[in-house]
Amino acid sequence: MKTEIELKELVKEKYAEIANQTKDFNAASCCGAGGCSEEIYNIMSDDYTQLNGYAADADLGLGCGLPTAFAKINKGDVVIDLGSGAGNDCFIARAATGETGKVIGIDFTEQMVAKARTNAEKLGYHNVEFRLGDIEQMPVSANMANVVVSNCVLNLVPNKFNVIKEVYRVLKPGGHFSISDIVLEGQLPSQLKNAAEMYAGCVSGAIQQQVYLELIAANGFENITIQKSKEIIIPNDILVNYLSTAEIAAFRISEMGIFSITVYAEKPMLEKSVCTPGSGCC
């Protein structure tokens, strides 16, 4: 069993490689993990190309939703993007918040941050900033953001509770988030859970949808809503690397599923004490 630090280093190494891959390569792969399917098959990502602010050079095909399209961003808002990659969601957020707003992208992969900064410079954006940092300890002051977005990133983080706690900290009272992520219904086969490529590819780091929503509620968020949900169908030529023919057949007819969801939640205007396990307040 790998430690949280080892898993994060695995993801960092993989996404350093992905930073130099093309969108076409990533979109036909396991969320950028490699050319693991012979099918022309966009496994995770949605089409960004029609959204205002879309920048082709910043689109690596790594997302699993369109959180910025659901994020209710207003002119002048401060927006934080978790796991900002080459900057695609940040640039779309900027189109919504305008020149009077500010967008901060946070990523812990140096190659991604460098690529995003280059893209921002080419576009001439002076109110989009990219910071190198861990989203479990964001390099951002408390109560500063109106909106937090993220696209297929939290599932890669071993300690998701810490990230959601940090999202709550950086949001202003009354602020909200819209996060697209991968979740599970039922138990994923252990062979997939333990496969490093699938972990970096957004699947085996995912948790149960109900647990995901409970983590959000446990951190004090309100009005938790699933804005969009779609099932992720993994092709057999990927599954054959991890499961036998019989196991694939059983997997297909099981109640277990892999889903991309976009979740919305609000930080209350008046903060409430959060009940932690063992505190006696529950």
pLDDT digits (tens, 9 = 90+) for 131-184: 999 999 999 999 999 999 999 899 888 899 999 999 999 999 999 999 999 898
Q: How is the chain split into domains, by residue range?
A: 4-266
Measured between alpha carbons, how far is 212 from 155 in angstroms, rounded to an integer?
Answer: 10
Among 53, 41, 37, 141, which Cα is nearest to 93's? 53
Residue burial 59-97, b: 16+ Cβ < 10 Å; e: rest: bbbbbbbbbbbbbebeeebbbbbbbbbbbbbbbbbbebb
Q: Which residues pair with 184 in a beta bridge?
A: 208, 258
pLDDT at 186: 87
Kindly list the distances between the CA atom of residue 32 and the CA atoms of 14, 18, 205, in Å, as whole numbers in the listed order. Answer: 9, 6, 15
Cβ neighbours of residue 114 closer than 8 Å, sequence gap 6 or more = 19
Q: Which amino acid is at 14?
A: K
Residue-by-residue pLDDT tens, the chain, 282 positions: 567 777 777 777 776 676 666 565 555 444 544 444 444 334 566 787 888 998 888 888 778 899 999 999 999 999 999 999 999 999 999 999 999 999 999 999 999 999 999 999 999 999 999 999 999 999 999 999 999 999 989 988 889 999 999 999 999 999 999 999 989 898 877 777 666 455 545 566 788 999 999 999 999 999 999 999 998 877 787 788 888 999 889 888 887 888 899 999 999 998 655 555 555 544
Token pair belonging to 247: 């196991």
- The confidence score (pLDDT) of residue 142 equals 98
Contacts of 103 (CB under 8 A, 6+ apart): 78, 79, 80, 81, 90, 91, 93, 94, 97, 127, 128, 129
Q: What predicted TM-score, i.e. pTM, was given to this entire model?
A: 0.83
- Residue 99: predicted pLDDT: 94
Tell me which of 3.40.50.150, 3.40.47.10, 3.40.50.620, 4.10.410.60 is the CATH number of domain 4-266: 3.40.50.150
Tell me the residue length of the chain: 282
Beta bridge pairs of residue 185: 257
